[in-house]
Chains A and B, each alone.
Chain A
Amino acid sequence: MSTQAHAAEHHKESFVSKYIFSHDHKMIAKQFLITGMVMATIGMAMSLLFRLQLAWPGESFSVLNFFLGDKWAPDGVLDPNMYLALGTIHGTIMVFFLLTAGLSGTFANLLIPLQIGARDMASGFMNMLSYWGFFISSVIMVISLFVESGPASAGWTVYPPLSALPQAMPGSGLGMTLWLVSMVFFIASQLIGGLNYIVTVINLRTKGMKMTRLPLTIWAILVTAILGLLSFPVLFSAALLLLFDRSFGTAFYLSDIYIAGEALTQTGGSPILYQHLFWFLGHPEVYIILLPALGLTSEVISTNARKPIFGYRAMVGSILAIGFLSFIVWGHHMFVTGMDPFIGAVFTFTTLLIAIPSAVKAFNYITTLWKGNIRFTPAMMFSIGMVSTFISGGLTGIILADSALDINLHDTYFVVAHFHIVMGLSAVLAMFAGVYHWFPKMYGRMMNMKLGYAHFWLTFISGYGVFFPMHFFGLAGVPRRYYTNSEFPMFDVFIDLNILVTVFAIIGGFAQLLFFFNFFYSMVRGPKASQNPWKSNTLEWTTPVEHIHGNWPGKLPEVHRWAYDYSKPGKEDDFVPQTVPLEEGEKDGEH
């Protein structure tokens, strides 16, 4: 059956095939988004719980007892093991479930077929599998929160031997096993999804959609998928070997350990091996999160500045350069593991190289605003905020990449500040920008703008309020993952600042209720969207507001120009959709 005929055919779809086991990329995108939102709520709530302990150490909170029960918060005081568990699961959920699957899953699925002019993904079935793999992994991760010995607690990087030995901490028992099983499903889901994204972008572009005409969102998603495909298998093997060490007495990561009054028989393994394998994924992972965020931001900024994205080719080049470099920098997470100093020097060099394409991207965003005609939609507000966090957080990366400086800042709050701003805040802000911008495409309705602005300012300000002061903790030598700083009189000066951070966290956390309300209210009651509410050039806005299977009624659109003909001289409107043929003598793209 040709795709043409497939589209024309009117399916009688049951509830199950339409909403649950759907093959339709738009529905799968929504499934990813909602699952991601549910997981994010859990991850966010956890951070609020442990922030209470950090601001008011050892004090009793009935809310802690309410959520964690008598075992983990006796008399409302958080247990140190549960503190570590909350941090671990918060990190895992935010990095993998929200910002990898939630972000890429939503926007790769929604935008790839719509922006390249395809009826659907190359394989709708694989796409469905990808979602359900993610769903199963989410369920297992949530189940792991309820096991008797507590969820995984060794930090989101789960370094062995701590994560390998149940004797080392209660969280390294069944909770850790479930964590690993969940990750196995997660990785499978990522690989299936990623493969599908790559094949679709390469093969299913509509007539005229040359690679040089691809919107930057698609470029970013494509490179992201390639990164995932090449690096996630390495995490898979790392997790598998850890599972072996835990369950079958192997010694890949274990050697010469005396614990709980007993000398273990395993010798010859190296815990550092795990770190190499983990960060071989772990560093590209940072860009798996960041690149789609940058892609979405590019699109939103250009559309709302009513101006072509500045330096399209340089932007594509930067994405490719960042993608390539991200594979040869992982060692900068391991400067103080005792690695050979020469190798440390090489990793310092390669890491600092990444700053160049990143700087180019930042400058290009700023220059896109220059002499623009900016419409400050909520999506635009979030995007400008994202440029700010990307710069603020990126700059401190230059310090941490410097091996000599990392000696003293490694694993302090400086690192927490750095990655939460550059990766966490940036990606979350971009994801919100994406949701506000493409909500009309997803649900055919508009979100409420006023609530959107309120949500933006509360999120953005409290985001900086939480993470900016952490630079100062780090520079004072406060380590991360400490249950309390009260054992160190030298950190008493930060008691007030820690409370301020927690207050901002609570404000920021509850501000998300505005978003949730806006999201679900607008889904059913929002005003009906017009076909192209943002006057955008890309193909998704040429589809009908009501979703149809196959995206376009009749023939697929033909593309005649790049995606960034905003405010082109000699045109009546300040935008020219990609489907409008070039006039005689008119040049396409960057000319």
Chain B
Amino acid sequence: MNFLIILLSVLGLIALIQLVRVFEITGKLRGNNQDDIDFQENKLRAKLWLLFGIAYFGFFIWLAWEYGDDLLPVAASEHGAVIDNVLNFNWVILIIAFVLTHVLLFYFASKYYWKPNHKADFITHSTKLELIWTTFPAIVLAVIVIYGLSAWNDITDDAPEDSINIELYSKQFAWVARYAGEDNKLGEANYNFIGGSNQLGLITPETIQERKSSLEDEVINIEANLANAPEGGAKEEELQENLDKKKRQLAKIKTYERQNEVDPFVNADDDKIVNMEFHIPVDQPVNFQFRSQDVIHSAYMPHFRAQMNCVPGAKTRFHFTPTITTEEMREKTGNDEFNYLLYCNKICGAAHYNMQMTIVVESQEDYEKWLSEQSTFTSVETAQSREEEKEVSEEEVLAEKN
């Protein structure tokens, strides 16, 4: 097989060489000077531009005809409809500019081919023309800028106060959604708390204690290993490094512990964490907060014309109001299996291509019903017993004071 490919390539190469020589010899026989050009051939080349122009526009029209309906369906959010309007407005202008310039380009190329004993017109410039085609695009662009930026300003304005707060948390290679719960406040989180069942690193009085004791165990463990490790070896160095790291982490946890004594971390108690699928109510503004665990991801929700990067070490935000429920969209698109999707749109590693989550848009009642079925981060019993303890201790403090 390989031999055959090599043989074919060599034969092809020889054929090509012979072909080129034939071109050269026939050229010489016709008495062509290399500096001169053949009038007929040159004219044919000019006309080919016209042909290409038709083919190019034809390709464009065919693509639009064939695939125009497979683009994103109608925007399912308030601001998305505005974005679509801006986009359509731009398309009108751009397609006019595209067709106009290309018609001129191909027309001129096909018309003004070389003719012997003829000279081109010596036209160096035209201030008037140039002024026109500087100011005219400038005016059109001004309109585009103003229209686009007024939409941008509205979209990026502060979220309405009655928005539902939801966090979208990204990691290689999955999404997690967190609802703010009864208080509509997302509890605080820190990456040092990630571990065990606490996949988002939420901070509550319990997670502080859990994390502290698990880190203290680890420190004791490493110290024991360190005592047994041979001195001066690579093993010792590694353990020492690990120990320092854990101690630093422990110190950080302890700062949260002290803070907790003054102002308890209770916002995360009623937060609800969901995987695979999250629900939002129709016609209700949703304010998303985005975080990332490891690398940059991008939360892309194209049906809502929404996108925001998830950046490790930072919180980013985007808000929108969905306007069409999943059911309604299924009817509109005629696709019973249609689902709104959230997927990753910033290269994040091997499985970047499959990092998605389903979004369900539904009525307020359905949404509330679904949400009430989800469990809170801190179980109700734990929160209650913590509350009782607190009351007891406050009574003790009061008693002491008195």
Contact = CB atoms under 8 A, between A and B. Distances in A.
Contacts of A468: 59-60, 63
Contacts of A305: 112, 120
Interface in A525-573: 527, 529-530, 533, 535, 564, 566-569
Interface string B341-378: 10111111111111010000000000000000000000
B205 interface: no
Nearest to A377: B37
Contact of B112 (A263, A312, A370): A370
Interface stretch (A133-141, A174-182, A285-293, A474-482): A474-482
Interface in B59-114: 59-60, 63, 67, 70-72, 80, 82-83, 86-87, 90, 94, 97-98, 101-102, 104-105, 108-109, 112-114
B294 A168 contact: yes
Interface residues of B, number: 113
B286 interface: no
Interface stretch (B176-184, B232-240, B268-276, B312-320): B312-320
Interface string A8-44: 0000000000000000000000000000000000000
B55 to A, nearest CB: 8
A165 B295 contact: yes
A373 B114 contact: yes
Interface stretch (A122-130, A206-214, A345-353): A345-353
Contacts of B72: 408, 475-477
B141 interface: yes
A320 interface: no
Nearest to A355: B141
A384 interface: yes
A148 to B, nearest CB: 16
A345 B354 contact: no
Nearest to B69: A493
A356 B300 contact: no
Interface residues of A, number: 129
A535 to B, nearest CB: 7
Given A374-B114, A468-B60, A484 B122 contact: no
Given A373-B114, A527-B24, A464 B56 contact: yes
Contact of A159 (B52, B59, B296): B296
Contact of A256 (B17, B105, B313): B313
A585 interface: no
A564 B124 contact: yes
A404 B307 CA distance: 11
B105 A314 contact: no
B114 A475 contact: no
A168 B119 contact: no
Interface stretch (A196-204, A215-223, A231-239, A358-366): A358-366
Contacts of A65: none
B385 interface: no
B194 A373 contact: no
B347 A155 contact: yes
Contact of B123 (A308, A341, A377): A308
A162 B344 CA distance: 14
A530 B71 contact: no
Contacts of A367: 123, 129
B231 interface: no
Contacts of B298: 336, 410-411
A366 B101 contact: yes
B293 interface: yes
B145 A408 contact: no
Interface stretch (B150-158, B222-230, B255-263, B392-400): B150-158
29 contacts: A257-B313, A258-B201, A259-B295, A270-B313, A307-B121, A310-B124, A336-B307, A336-B308, A338-B309, A352-B144, A353-B141, A360-B134, A369-B105, A370-B108, A372-B121, A374-B42, A374-B109, A374-B114, A376-B113, A377-B37, A384-B49, A388-B56, A399-B87, A402-B86, A448-B24, A468-B60, A475-B72, A476-B67, A489-B337
Interface of A: 80-81, 84, 154-155, 159, 161-162, 165, 168-169, 254-259, 263, 265, 267-272, 305-308, 310-314, 336-338, 341, 344-345, 348-349, 352-353, 355-356, 359-360, 362-367, 369-377, 381, 384, 387-388, 391-392, 395-396, 398-399, 402-405, 407-408, 410-412, 446, 448, 450-451, 453, 457, 460-461, 464-465, 468-469, 472, 475-477, 479, 481-485, 487-490, 493-494, 497, 514, 517-518, 521, 527, 529-530, 533, 535, 564, 566-569, 574, 589-591
